[in-house]
Structure 1
Amino acid sequence: MKVLVIGGGQLAWDLMQTAPSTVHAEMVLREALDITAPDACERVIQDRQADVIINAAAYTAVDKAENEREAAFAVNEQGVANLAAACTAAGARLFHVSTDFVFDGEANRPYLPDDSPNPQSVYGASKLAGEAVLRHRMPEAVIVRTGWLYSSNGGNFVKTMLRLMAEKPELGVIVDQVGTPTWARGLAQLLWAGVTHSVPGGLYHWSDAGVASWYDFAVAIQDLGLELGLLEQAIPVRAIPASEFPTPAKRPAYSVLDKRSTEAAFGMETIHWRRQLKSMLEMLP
């Protein structure tokens, strides 16, 4: 089975690191494929004779998207439409990664895949538009929503916290935005399970198990960083409200995802986010 991994970010990297021996995986970077160009999508997928496409490419600059709406929709909506058309023409399956930002954060329980979306940001709206295009044009595609993604490769919250904790005398971290951290390697393993077991098309949710605020996440990063020798000393970490750290894009206050249907369909169980965080930190030099 030949699988093209579209994108060069942290998820794409972890997908390549965890590719099963039964597939031939190839990463396709933006330099080789601009998904906003329909002809390029068709040419690359046809030329590489791919059986499966995993789309890990996206416009993810959440705050910049507020002023770059056209650029965000070009990648997150039109780019997905182009991939869907190319996959349909080539007879290839498509796996696509979406986001918890499609929800407004007003829920008081974990979001189910069929809960009504209501994005509060341009980024969230552009990702929802990509989902809608895909569900209409290619209902057999697999869409996996996730959130709070981090990896040992690339830039992310975990590595930023480690750096700041080594540089600053103290930190303030938001306490009133709640979700679930997700190790990109765990998401990659889920996607490979979907590829190799031919899960049905549809909408799925995946993150690690448990719940955390950004403050809880930061405290765990410091605790484990000290335990593993990645940090030399503890600093005070203060819990602050989001109102003290305003951003151009509105973020959901609550974006915990219900993964039960995904666990059943993919034959995988979630692992608690703190255990996954420790596994990732143990990989750092």
Structure 2
Amino acid sequence: MQKDSRIYIAGHKGLVGSAILNNLKEKGYKNLIYKTSSELDLRDSKQVYNFFENENVEYVFLAAAKVGGIVANNEFPADFIRDNILIQTNVIDAAYKYDVKKLLFLGSTCIYPKLANQPLKEEYLLTGELEPTNEPYAIAKIAGIKMCESYNRQYKTNFISAMPTNLYGPNDNFDLETSHVLPALIRKFHEAKANGNSKVELWGTGTPKREFLHTKDLSDACVFLMENYSGNDIVNVGVGQDISIAELAEKIKRIVGFEGEVVYDTSKPDGTPRKLVDVTKINKLGWRAKISLAVGLKETYGWFKDNLK
């Protein structure tokens, strides 16, 4: 990419897209293109094709997606598989039809089998059953990966796929019904402290382990891959370390300053027992995560307090 290349960031208002947009701006890229969902509905193929025809896009960061935690995935499985397949199908196909030079597709580590060996290597894709609680979302993301691979094979496109681990940071979704675990914990502990509650109740046992990547690190990895990597193999993006939900809860509890008790509702699902990605490939390419969880959590909680409305 050149500093004046026409670069489209799909999903620029979201957690990942906003971080990619900021990263590109910081690196001096000047020709950045983005539209809100009300301006451009990526589920509508006609709107997408018209957009690509008119904008002369050269590079695409496909960060637009319908995302959510266990609750949202359980309650709205049809929305998750339909919306994500529509978004990525329209954008990937339009990128091919209108001669985009390169596209980066953002997947998710939920594409890997529920009981795959840890850490998760890229070659574990499609080697076992998925985690049932987010299977529709995972299948949509797998379809996006295979679509990029297939277009590369048939049409000689340059479409790459990155698989980030669990993400957090500014612009996250803190809605308790639809958010992921880390922002949900921040909000729960903050509200419990504000309301003077004596305890916070969390889903599951607290034993599942998760890896958390700050969106600033992910955005840096995405730009790095766009500049330095081409190929059909997917690339994991993570920090290479994980933490139990119970340990995460204690860290957030201390940062927020909540002094009550943490209680676990073991009747609720845990989700995948562990999700740690193998980051050997991206490390060998020359990229490593830089932001520690302690620093990232403090920053994210600060952003949450500044943007409570």
Give the TM bin, normalised by the shorter chain: 0.7 to 0.9
Instruction: Compute the displacement of 1:155 (Å).
Output: 1.7
Matched, 1:136 2:150: yes
The runs of 5 or more residues in structure 1 that have no matched partner are: 226-230
Cα distance in 2 for partners of 1:6, 1:141 equals 15
- After superposition, the C-alpha distances for 1:174-200 in whole angstroms (9 at most, x for unaligned) are 4232120121121111112223x2411
Amino acid at match of 1:254: R
1:16 touches 1:26 (CA, 8 Å); kept in 2?
no
Instruction: Compute the displacement of 1:203 (Å).
Output: 0.6
Matched, 1:102 2:111: yes
Cα distance in 1 for partners of 2:130, 2:39 equals 31
RMSD: 2.5
Match of 1:119 among 115, 118, 130: 130
Q: Which residue of 1 aligns with 2:177?
A: none
- Which contiguous aligned blocks of 4+ residues in structure 1 show a shift greater than 6 angstroms? none
Amino acid at match of 2:239: D
- After superposition, the C-alpha distances for 1:89-112 in whole angstroms (9 at most, x for unaligned) are 222111111111112331342111
Q: Which residue of 2 aligns with 1:228?
A: none
- SS of match in other structure, 1:28: coil
Taking only the aligned residue pairs, the percentage that are identical comes to: 12
- After superposition, the C-alpha distances for 1:15-72 in whole angstroms (9 at most, x for unaligned) are 2222220342233221122222222222212322211111111122454445544432
Matched, 1:254 2:274: yes
Q: Which residue of 1 aligns with 2:229?
A: 199
1:35 touches 1:41 (CA, 8 Å); kept in 2?
yes
- SS of match in other structure, 2:274: coil
Q: Which residue of 1 aligns with 2:170?
A: 152
Q: Which residue of 2 aligns with 1:183?
A: 214
Matched, 1:17 2:35: no
Q: Which residue of 1 aligns with 2:268?
A: 245
The runs of 5 or more residues in structure 2 that have no matched partner are: 175-180
Cα distance in 1 for partners of 2:66, 2:38 equals 15
Q: Which residue of 2 aligns with 1:268?
A: 287
2:10 touches 2:17 (CA, 8 Å); kept in 1?
yes
Cα distance in 1 for partners of 2:230, 2:66 equals 26
Instruction: Compute the displacement of 1:160 (Å).
Output: 3.2
2:78 touches 2:136 (CA, 8 Å); kept in 1?
no
Q: How many residues align?
A: 272
Which is worse superposed, 134-143 or 210-219? 134-143
- After superposition, the C-alpha distances for 1:245-281 in whole angstroms (9 at most, x for unaligned) are 23xxx8322111111101222x211234334334544
